[in-house]
Structure 1
């Protein structure tokens, strides 16, 4: 049996109910100039309110700079990624798996996949009560 579990749509099977408790953004799978894919960890960023925002950074080699420069990538969900160049200027938006590369600071960047994470809650129903694991 295979089924996708969503928030407010649990899986019930043989007296066990499996709930999705939360979701997160684990990593972006990215190719740079045809090399990779590289898994870049997505970090949760602090926002006011209940909104989620995740970010990651792909360092670029820059012999003219003593500091670290690179491409910043932000996402609110697994559907679209916002990209910024090494100066922090907006470059574009890409959907994972769109196979549409984007040119940033002389590098061809391809967002291959967005890897999510989730929390699960399992509950077992007995004849007289419910015991959560």
Structure 2
């Protein structure tokens, strides 16, 4: 993947498969495979690139924030409070730009917090997701 980067000026249509896309995709895959340390490295790289370019596409930004949350939970020493704070940022993104994939991944992420549900930041995230997700899912396809 990293050997096939496409770096050019912005064009119409789908965004190019650039360094950010590779980092974001790798973060998602590594997180799903349970490699939190690798996922965290790539998620933070993706977020840094997106931040340098004004946030990029809301869907990419939101999905990478969720990937970072997953990574923080999948590390050998999980950081559930930081993961919840990052997940709240993902909800901020979809509150402004409803995106089905980000909402669905946030729902999936909510289940990963089960062992940490007693922590206030985790409870806050899960409550906000439960309150907002149904409305967000309804507005995405409209």
- Greater gyration radius: 1
Larger proportion of helix? 2
Higher relative contact order (CA 8 A, sep 6+): 1
**Alignment TM class, shorter chain as reference:** under 0.3
Larger proportion of strand? 1
User: What TM-score, normalized to structure 1?
Assistant: 0.21
